[in-house]
Structure 1
Amino acid sequence: MFHFVGVPLQQLFLVGGIAGGLIVVFYILKLKRRPVAVPFSKIWDRILRDKQATSLFSQLKRLLSLLLQLLVLALLLFALGDPRTAAKRTEGRNVVVLVDTSASMQAADVEPTRLSAGLLKLSSIVRGLGSSDRMMIAQMDSTITPLSTLTGDVPELERAVGAVRPSDTRADFARGLRFATDTLRGLSSPEIIVVSDGAIGAPVDAQGPVTLGDVKLSYIHVGERNRNAAITGFSVRRYPLDKTRYEAMVEVTNTGEEELDLELRLYGDEMQTHLFRFKLPAGQKDSRFLTNLSGASHRLRAEISLVTPEAETDPNTGRPVRVHDDLPADDVAYALMPERRRARIQVVTDGNNTYLDAALLLDEYLDVTTVSPAKYPTEGAFDVTIFDNVAPAVAPGSGHVLYINPTGKDVPFTVDKELTSEDEGLGFDEIDADHPIVRHTQLTTVNIGRAHILKGNKEDKVVGSSFKGPIMIAGRRAGMKFVAIGFDVRESDLPLRISWPLLVLNIINDFVEEDTSYISSFQTGSVWRIPAPSTLQEAELVRNQLPAEDAPPEAKETEVDKRLVPIEEGRAVYFGDRAGFYTLRTKGGGPEGSVSDSKDDDESFTTEFAANLADPVESVIKPQDKLVIGDKEAGEVEGFTIGVRNEIWAYLLIAVVAISVIEWLTYHRRITV
């Protein structure tokens, strides 16, 4: 008994009836004698003698021609129905292939990479798919992406294999298995094929261990060795008092099984600035805190490579050839420093505070305007306003606010009772050392003559407090930050300490860095929320691909992976899976540009950020020969033999071609004329 798995049988009968009727009608209309010119002779006697014998054969020939055309139509209709026997229909396998595209699959211990070798094996399996088998191919990294439907169409599956792309994330094996088991639930002969190096972690998630039940598990193993070192940490920041210089922290981890002789190079704005050589034993980390660096204004890149006894030179570029370990993807890390733009500072004061003026003079990128309370507010927009011993109502365009010794009721907090130095040595008894505004300061030894207790909302943070209560708080109102210092610095010894200018510049940096939408780097495999103007609905995100090491010196970076990303509540939302430098800009913007100084200039919005792999777990690329899930061990892939697929519709089409050829030959040989 046959089952039709293609076009439904009812539609086949409908199409067959209409097409068959048209063939019969056209055949009747076409039926006529064919005139043949012959020379006049005494052949009429022969014709008259043969006419009786051949009239019946002529009718049979015309009927045979009609039947052949109807037979061709019937064969075509049956081929569209894709008929299959009941036995083959039940024996067909339903297979979900999980292709591991995590960062470790970019390892080059097999040529050209582990992922390419695995896809080559998968292509052979696809070509060996049985006529009743169905397969789905899904890409597995930190998310699961189906690249095909559950189908037996080999060309579609081959296109899915060609669409697989590597990512710079770890693989979520548990999610991939749950996706596969959900897809195969209720189907006959279910099977999961995992294409991986086995370095994918345990199949356990928040729901617990994954169980496969009666699903068959097969494993395509790739990978040979584990020789790898990775940059597992990279961060950079400018010095508050000298923004032309910066410091960096680089952590390199040897995740392999042998000692490696490494080179660490730092690039500033794509020019090499520093080179370090060191040996790193297997399984060890090397953390380097590099201080007082210079030579870069915006972009920084760290890269490691193996030290070779005799470095070869590229004949095309003249540069030394870098020899990498088995996984080049984690040999590079990226970071951005905030643009050094001038911040507009407004100082509202009722006196001459030379200590405050001196602190603001230390940063050449501060554009300071000093006004009296009577002239506040002035024209223009400011990034930061400092109220020194005054506290008027905050006017629009004032930006973030620093209060020094505030009084009155026009403040977003409560100024409580006064404390004096007679209260057992007034000063900072507790400091929130993790808060960025007190970074690199020492405030616990400061002596204060007089102060006021400050009480904010429950969302506000107490940065510093005496034994009687908070005297320095930080918070946010209407989207703008504020910091309040509850004493006059001139009534303390704080201005005599280096902590005073650091405190002022830290507060301004904390305000301004957020306004410039600066983010040093994101980590791949997570949802990125990039600051963007809240007035925009979407923005264009591009990845800036640097020239290859063997590219000519004049080669420039190119923009790849262009896409539109939505903006929700002032954040562009995107799930990042590739490391590198990125540009987020207004839709349709050009490749050039920088962050605008105007916060309202949404039409030309452009910002840059970096993304890194920096995953010590994913950098462990030791291949696993066996894949075990629960008590089930994966076996080798079986039953996918390349050959002629036993599909009935293919034979029906062959029969149609054969009948057409026979019809053509008999017609031209005057047999069916």
Structure 2
Amino acid sequence: MTFGGLGASDLWALFAIAGGAMVLLYLLKLRRRRVEVPYSPLWARVVEDKQSTSLFKRLKRVFSLLVQLMVVAAIVLALGDPKLAGLAGCSYSEPERPPPRHTLLMIDASASMATVERGRTRLSRARAEAHAVADALRGDPDHRVMVVQLDARTRPLTLWTSDADAVAEAIDAVAPAGALDTPTAVDDALRLAADALRGREEAEVVLVTDAAFPPVDAARVEELRLRVVRVGAPGVNVGVQAFNVRPYLDDSLTYSIFYAIGNQADRPLPATLFLYANDQGQSVDDFIAPARIVASYALTLPAGGVLEDVIPDVKFEGSRLAARVEIAASDPARDVFPRDDVAFALVPERKLLKVQLVSQGNLFLHASLFVRENVALTSVTPAEYAGPEGFDVTIVDAGVGVDVSRPGDYLLIAPAADLPGSPFEVTGVVSEPHVGRVAKRHPIARDLQLVDLNILEATVLAKARGDQVVVASKGGAPLLLTRVDAEGGRRFVALAFDVRKSLLPLNYAFPLLMVNALSWFHQEEAGLLKPRRAGVEVSVPVALEGAGGGGALTVAGPPGAPPVHARQIGERVLLSAQRVGVYELSWAGVAGAQPVAINLMSPAESRVSPREAGYPAWEAPAPVVRERDRWLSSFWRVLLLVALGLVVLEWLTWHRRVTV
């Protein structure tokens, strides 16, 4: 016999103390009081009767003492939790316990889980399926489960636990506000699974998902024992995959809109693209209202493809724009995934370009720039020229010999060989050159039609490494080229001929050429505010003056969006948002706020029809049945019942005056 509670020595000591106390109580019981009476013959007979029964009464008292000692012994022995293994006739041994099992239960909460099917979202169905998995595992007390939420990050919601109630609460806590607007970070999830299951017995990964992510390698599936519970059914979805706005090339008050809209259906779909403007809007509800519609366009979306296009000449007020695509009401198809129907874009800040024209008097150049609403033109003579400081672009006319060696942006017209600080080497002059080749993909050549220029003569500029020739003559001589002097902090656009010695100023391409050349100098990120994707850490340049001084940074998102943790490193801010919308960055002590547009724009999440990846399906394990004799395995219960029986026996015999 072995003991699972107190040891044998402790039990003997406890029995000695309790038994000794019991014996002491019997020895200290009250004795009869002796009284002398006058009639001795009568009491002598009573004493004679008493002596005849004294032996029996002594035996009765000894029996009562033994019963009480047996009660004490049974209670003391029960405290030792005796194990009967090895005793003949009543041996018992614990059945061999199976090895503990581990299940990593991962629930997909990415954007595609917001797909609505038969009135329920996929996330709602995923929670129900996860509860079914947990219920199938609760029969084994040695089966441990960890619940993980999967979206752009992996978020463990429990530790390894066999507490079924804790697992159920964690499943209900997966994305309580609905699926996030993020892609599925399946690679991060698999790395977490490998770390969490390393060294654990009978381990597996159960992923409840619609599989809207790139297929997982079969070797990793087998290595992790990945099992998938699929939710979702085929459906129709259209969504915005790209959306941007930038100033129109010819006028900063007019904008061009670029969009790309995908169609997941197997047939073309008629749709409408709506544009909304709201200078203070942050959420979808802030924009989507009939009163805020800027324009609408009827589209035909190709089957299983993407429609890309640019909408020119869009005019509106405000700095924030939203696009929404909607399947035409005349078509029976219904969009099951509305999350990607809306995208946001920010309008670049309208900035006046400060241009300095250094000339003896060129009315063609002056007129082409003076009428531009986004150009603040300052004309100076060579004698008045003080340098490029304070101007965005300096234009140096033909025949003007001013110093261009200082850092700045320069547009040179027919630069002479002796132009101070010029980086161009003039190797000669070509007479009556004709346009031979135009680099149509270059920003300066955008929409240009250079015909009938009738150039009288042009200087021959030697090309250097890194030069971009925009226009060349039929003989190969550069007529228009760009050069970047990174070490000197200078950028150049050089036109090899004097515009007054050609018909270019009389051509409609001349003012557009000037605008394109000025725009080339300002192609930095601030000129095109790119929308960022939700769930991905993005780097945003600081645009507010004084915001780089170290003031406390605050990020305000749309109503209901989770808090965004951002950090500033120098002149850039790193942040990651979980919901789409327009977020505002503000700094303590700095006036105004800098907006940042966050969009879904994930083709993988927009593909709502389940992928046929062939993942193994999860199957419920066989129920664990353990045969166990709870009485023999817990013999202390028997001892307590014996003690209780002895107490009852003593009580009955005492009341019937058997042991008194």
| Alignment deviations for residues 1-56 of structure 1 (CA, whole Å, 9 cap, x no partner) | xxxxxxxxxxxx9xx99xx9xxx9xxx9xxxxxxxxxxxxxx987899xxx99999
Residues 525-584 of structure 1: CA deviation (Å, up to 9, x unaligned): 655332226946798474643xxxxxxxxxxxx484443434456443345664332333
Q: Distance in 2 between matches of 1:435 and 1:454?
A: 20
| Cα distance change on mapping 1:471 and 1:293 into 2, 3 Å | closer
Give the drift of 1:505.
1.8
Shift of 1:212: 3.3
1:437 to 444, 447, 456: 444
Q: Does 1:340 align with 2:350?
A: yes
- Distance change >3 Å, CA 417–CA 410, structure 1 → 2: closer
Q: 2-side partners of 1:645 and 1:565: how far apart?
A: 53
Aligned to 1:180: 193
Q: Measure, in 2, the Cα distance between the counterparts of 1:248 and 1:515.
A: 17
SS at match of 2:564: strand
Question: Which residue pairs with 1:7 in the alignment?
Answer: none
Q: Provide the residue aligned with 1:244 in structure 2.
A: 253
Which amino acid in the other structure matches residue 252 of structure 1?
I
Matched, 1:294 2:305: no
Letter in 2 for 1:503: L
Q: State the Cα deviation string for residues 337-358 of structure 1 (Å, max 9, x = none).
A: 2122333x14151411222221
Residue 118 of structure 1 and its aligned partner are, at CA, apart by: 0.4
- Counterparts of 1:470 and 1:450 in 2: how far apart (Å)? 7
Structure 2 counterpart of 1:453, one-letter code: L
For each residue in 1:258-281, what CA deviation from the matched residue of structure 2 results, as whole angstroms up to 9, or x when unmatched? 665544322122411223456657
170-179 or 505-514: which moved more? 170-179
* 2:366 alignment partner AA: D
Deviation at 1:186, TM superposition (A): 3.5
Whole-angstrom CA distance in 1 between matches of 2:441 and 2:575: 29
Indicate how the Cα distance of structure 1 residues 367 and 188 shifts in structure 2: closer, same or farther if over 3 A, else same.
same
The answer to whether 1:621 aligns with 2:613 is no
2:570 counterpart of 1:563: no
Q: How far off is 1:329 after superposition?
A: 1.0
Match of 2:403 among 392, 403, 418: 392
Per-residue CA deviations over 1:141-193 (Å, capped at 9, x if unaligned) read 45555455445455665565424463444435455445434543432112121
Q: 1:166 aligns to what SS in structure 2?
A: coil
Q: Which residue identity does 1:180 align to in structure 2?
A: A
Report the secondary structure of 1:628's partner residue: coil
2:293 is paired with a residue whose SS is strand
Aligned residue for 2:89? none
SS in 2 for 1:421: strand
CA distance in 2, matches of 1:240, 1:644: 77
> Quick one: which amino acid aligns to residue 599 of structure 2?
N
Q: Quote the sequence identity (%).
A: 25
Return 5+ residue gaps in structure 1 as ranges: 1-12, 29-42, 73-84, 312-322, 546-557, 590-602, 647-654, 660-665, 667-673
Which residue matches 1:283?
304
Partner of 2:363: 354
Instruction: Give the 3 Å change call, closer, same or farther, for CA 131–362 of structure 1 in structure 2.
Output: farther
Give the alignment of 1:23-422 within 5 angstroms. 87-88=96-97, 90=99, 92-126=100-134, 128-129=137-138, 130-141=140-151, 144-152=154-162, 157=167, 160-161=170-171, 162-164=173-175, 166-171=179-184, 173=186, 176-177=189-190, 179-204=192-217, 210-213=219-222, 215-257=224-266, 260=269, 262-269=271-278, 270=287, 271-277=292-298, 282-283=303-304, 285-287=306-308, 289-308=310-329, 325-343=335-353, 345-377=354-386, 381-388=390-397, 389-393=400-404, 400-407=409-416, 408=418, 411=421, 414-422=423-431
| Cα distance change of structure 1 residues 235 and 157 upon mapping to structure 2, 3 Å threshold | same
The 3 A distance-change label for structure 1 pair 489 and 61 is farther
Structure 1 counterpart of 2:458, which letter?
R
The TM-score with structure 2 as length reference comes to 0.68
Preserved CA contact (<8 Å) 2:275 2:295: yes
Deviations 1:461-519 (A, max 9, x none): 44444413574114363696623214333333332222222222223334346374641
| 8 Å Cα contact 1:147/1:160 also seen in 2 | yes
Give secondary structure in 2 for the equivalent of 1:621: coil
Match 1:635 to one of 617, 634, 637 = 617
Residue deviations 1:265-306, cap 9 Å, x none?
Answer: 221224112234566575355555433322343222111234
Question: Aligned pair in 2 of structure 1 residues 577, 503: CA closer, same or farther (>3 Å)?
Answer: farther
Query: Does the aligned pair in 1 maintain the 2:565–2:576 contact within 8 Å?
Result: no
| Distance change (3 Å), C-alpha of 1:139 and 1:462 | farther
CA contact (8 A) 2:254 2:315 kept: yes
Letter of the 1:115 partner, please give it. L
Q: Tell me, yes or no, if the aligned pair for 1:100 and 1:194 is still in contact at 8 Å.
A: yes
Match of 2:120, SS?
Answer: coil
- Structure 1 residues 55 and 230 mapped into 2: Cα distance closer, same or farther (>3 Å)? same
Instruction: Show CA shifts across 1:360-416 (max 9, x none).
Output: 2232232223334444447984333334444425657x6x443444455754x6311
Question: Matched residues in 2 for 1:497 and 1:530: separation?
Answer: 41
Name the residue aligned to 1:573.
574
CA RMSD of aligned residues (A): 5.1
Once residues 203 and 47 of structure 1 are traced to their aligned partners in structure 2, the CA distance between those partners, rounded to angstroms, is 97
User: How far off its partner does 1:203 sit?
Assistant: 1.8
- CA distance in 1 between partners of 2:355 and 2:213 (Å): 55
Asked if the contact 1:543–1:580 (Cα under 8 Å) also holds between the matched residues in 2, the reply is: no
Query: CA 1:387 to 1:257, structure 2 compared with 1: closer, same or farther past 3 Å?
Result: same
SS in 2 for 1:223: coil
Superposition deviation, residue 108 in structure 1: 0.7
Equivalence map 1:472-483=2 (5 Å): 472-475=481-484, 477=486, 482-483=491-492
Query: Partner amino acid for 2:227?
Result: S
- What is the alpha-carbon distance in structure 2 between the residues aligned to residue 570 and residue 184 of structure 1? 42
Q: 8 Å contact 1:348–1:376 — kept in the other structure?
A: no
Kindly indicate whether residue 595 of structure 2 is the aligned counterpart of residue 608 of structure 1: yes
Task: Summarize deviations over 1:234-275 as a string: whole Å, max 9, x none.
Answer: 333332333333232444333135665544322122411223
Residue aligning to 1:598: none
Task: Report the Cα offset of residue 451 of structure 1.
Answer: 2.3
SS of residue in 1 equivalent to 2:113: helix
Between the aligned partners of 1:295 and 1:124, the Cα distance in structure 2 is 53
Contact 1:192 1:218 in 2 (8 A): yes
Q: 1:47 to 1:104 in 2, by over 3 A?
A: farther
> For residues 138 and 484 of structure 1, do their structure 2 counterparts lie closer, same or farther at Cα, with a shift above 3 Å needed?
same
Q: Is residue 495 from structure 1 mapped to residue 495 from structure 2 by the alignment?
A: no
State the one-letter code of the partner of 2:358.
Answer: T
Name the TM-score, length of structure 1 as normaliser.
0.67
User: 1:109: Cα distance to partner?
Assistant: 1.1
Q: Show the counterpart of 1:38.
A: none
Distance 1:288 1:566, change over 3 A: same
- Are the structure 2 counterparts of residues 329 and 65 from structure 1 closer, same or farther at C-alpha, using a change threshold of 3 Å? same
Quick one: distance in 1 between partners of 2:193 and 2:388?
63
Report the Cα distance in structure 1 between the residues aligned to 2:76 and 2:499, rounded to whole angstroms: 108
Q: Which range moves more in the overlay, 238-247 or 374-383? A: 374-383
The aligned counterpart of 1:453 is 461
Matched residue, 2:88 = none
Counterpart for residue 9 of structure 1: none
Q: Distance in 1 between matches of 2:580 and 2:488?
A: 31
In 2, the alpha carbon distance for the partners of 1:47 and 1:498 equals 141
SS in 1 for 2:256: strand
Instruction: Give yes or no for contact 1:125–1:640 (8 Å, CA) kept in 2.
Output: no
Alignment of 1:648-659 (within 5 A): none
Deviation readout 1:402-438 (Å, 9 max, x if unpaired): 3444455754x6311244232xx43554433223233
